[in-house]
């Protein structure tokens, strides 16, 4: 891990939605330490600042991919970058999904919106080792069809069950409509022998973790990724504090039995 931004070059830019792109980066010199699925980087847009961004792909060459939604000055600047331009990257930071803890058991992955991005490397890793895990399920939700990301990836995943649902369909949508939790009934898993990984908006995380626990998935085997305003990524500024947790260091991925009492406190 480094506190000094390391130069990375944009080698590809892929639009995902009207306001979201995926940037593929390669180190311009020595790469950062290896990232694990679920960790994040601080990505610096020259002249604008830096923001925390989850890693949506990790390459053996040290390359990274980040899926970024334009919601502020820095993220908008990153989304405007083209191949050949440079960024600064610090990291890796935070905790990962720890997929290895699920070896030999069923896996349920539940993503809401852009929350699919940090789950993507976990899914790819599980699918490259099919003998290491039980049944792998991927459940994806989005507000509208136009806000779905990684569509080609979703179509290519040969999991035990892959389901996609949207809250508000358009005229061309022929898939499921409703909350992503409605797909749990179709997934193929044995709750007591399952690990679950959840990322998305906080209300979706709470609802999904609640339903998984109701079905019998042990709370300590439900891993969730929490989001707070991360500034320094070193635990010094306190902006990412959630109760006793500094999420840039002790998160963003935590077990649900630890996250549940914290998320139940209003405005914590």
Structural domain for 36, as ranges:
2-93
For position 173, what pLDDT does the model report? 96
CB atoms within 10 A of CB 139: 25
Average pLDDT over residues 17-33: 95
CATH number for the domain that contains residue 56: 2.40.30.10
Q: What is the pLDDT of residues 138-183, one digit of tens each?
A: 999 999 999 999 999 999 998 889 999 999 999 999 999 999 999 9
Indicate if 64 and 148 belong to the same structural domain: no
For position 59, what pLDDT does the model report? 83
Q: Rounded to an integer, what distance in angstroms lies between the CA atom of residue 129 and that of residue 112?
A: 24
Indicate if 13 and 70 belong to the same structural domain: yes
Within a domain: 268 = no
Asked whether residue 253 carries a pLDDT value surpassing 80, the answer given is yes
* Secondary structure string (H, E, C) spanning the chain: CEEEEEEEEEEEEEEEECCEEEEEEEECCCCCCCCCCCCEEEEEECCCEEEEEECCEECCCCCEEEEEECCCHHHHHHHCCCCCCEEEEEEEECCCCCHHHHCCCEEEEEEEHHHHHHHHHHHHHHHHCHHHCCCEEEEEEECCHHHCCCHHHHHHCCCCEEEEEECCCCCCCCCEECCHHHHHHHCCCCHHHEEEEEECCHHHHHHHHHHHHHHCCCHHHEEEECCCCCCCCCCCCCCCEECCEEHHHHCCEEEHHHHHHHHCCCCC
What is the residue whose two structure tokens read 């970058």?
81
Whether the predicted model's global pTM rises above the 0.75 cut: yes
Which of 93, 121, 144 marks a domain boundary?
93
Indicate if 128 and 249 belong to the same structural domain: yes
Indicate if 32 and 112 belong to the same structural domain: no
For position 30, what pLDDT does the model report? 92
Q: Quickly state the pLDDT bin for 23 (edges 50, 70, 90).
A: very high
Q: What is the pLDDT of residues 115-147, one digit of tens each?
A: 999 999 999 999 999 899 999 999 999 999 999
Indicate if 228 and 107 belong to the same structural domain: yes
Asked whether residue 193 carries a pLDDT value surpassing 80, the answer given is yes
Report the domain count for the chain: 2
For position 227, what pLDDT does the model report? 84
Asked whether residue 237 carries a pLDDT value surpassing 90, the answer given is no
Q: What is the pLDDT of residues 61-85, one digit of tens each?
A: 789 999 999 999 999 999 999 999 9
Indicate if 9 and 43 belong to the same structural domain: yes
Instruction: Quote the mean pLDDT of the chain.
Output: 94
Indicate if 202 and 237 belong to the same structural domain: yes
Q: Rounded to an integer, what distance in angstroms lies between the CA atom of residue 258 and that of residue 268?
A: 14
Indicate if 83 and 137 belong to the same structural domain: no
Average pLDDT over residues 96-115: 97
Q: What is the pLDDT of residues 213-231, one digit of tens each?
A: 999 999 999 999 998 777 8
CATH number for the domain that contains residue 174: 3.40.50.80
Instruction: Give burial (CB, 10 Å; 0-12/13-18/19+) of 61.
Output: exposed
Asked whether residue 264 carries a pLDDT value surpassing 90, the answer given is no
For position 168, what pLDDT does the model report? 97
């Amino acid at each position: 891990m480094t506190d000094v931004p390391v130069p990375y070059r944009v080698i590809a830019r892929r639009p995902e939605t009207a306001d979201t792109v995926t940037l593929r980066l390669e180190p311009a010199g020595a790469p950062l330490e290896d990232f694990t699925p679920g960790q994040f980087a601080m990505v610096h847009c020259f002249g604008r600042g830096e923001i925390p961004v989850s890693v949506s792909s990790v390459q053996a060459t040290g390359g990274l991919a980040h899926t970024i939604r334009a919601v502020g000055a820095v993220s908008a600047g990153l989304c405007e970058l083209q191949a050949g331009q440079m960024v600064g990257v610090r990291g890796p930071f935070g905790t990962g999904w720890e997929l290895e803890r699920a070896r030999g058991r069923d896996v349920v992955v539940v993503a809401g919106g852009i929350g699919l991005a940090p789950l993507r490397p976990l899914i790819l890793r599980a699918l490259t080792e099919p003998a290491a895990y039980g049944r792998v399920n991927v459940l994806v939700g989005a507000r509208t069809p136009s806000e779905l990301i990684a569509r080609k990836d979703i179509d290519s995943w040969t999991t035990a069950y892959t389901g996609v649902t949207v809250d508000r369909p358009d005229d061309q949508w022929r898939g499921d409509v409703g909350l992503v939790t409605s797909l749990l009934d179709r997934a193929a898993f044995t709750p007591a022998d399952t690990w679950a990984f959840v990322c998305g908006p906080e209300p979706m995380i709470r609802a999904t973790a609640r339903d998984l626990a109701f079905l019998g998935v042990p709370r300590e085997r439900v891993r969730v990724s929490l989001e707070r305003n991360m500034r320094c990524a070193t635990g010094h500024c306190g902006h990412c504090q959630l109760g006793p947790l500094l999420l840039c260091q002790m998160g963003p991925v935590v077990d649900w039995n630890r996250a549940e009492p914290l998320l139940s406190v209003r405005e914590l």
